[in-house]
Amino acid sequence: MKKINDTMNRLAVAVYVKGGRMKQRITGILARKEGEGFVDTALKILISVVVGALLLAGLYALFKNTILPTLTQKITNLFNYQG
């Protein structure tokens, strides 16, 4: 019976100590004043989407007006070889 009581006491002390450590960790995390807010994150995402859309639009215009006509002309010349 004494052995069971000793085991229970050790278990209770271990749980108490771990609970105290966890309480300190949580208190420390909640007391921090640094970090990102929702507005900052939303603004970063919005800027990324706008810059990505502008980049895609620029590439699309470049391919449509410059690269594809030149490529089409070169392919046509390649198959119309009169050598």
Return the percent helix, strand and coil in the chain, to nearest 5. 85, 0, 15
pTM: 0.44
Token couple for 63: 């391919």
At 69, which amino acid appears?
P
Task: For the chain, give the percent of residues with pLDDT over 90.
Answer: 37
Burial class (CB in 10 A: 0-12, 13-18, 19+), 47: exposed
Summarised one tens digit per residue, pLDDT across range 14-52 is 999 999 999 999 998 888 887 667 888 899 999 999 999
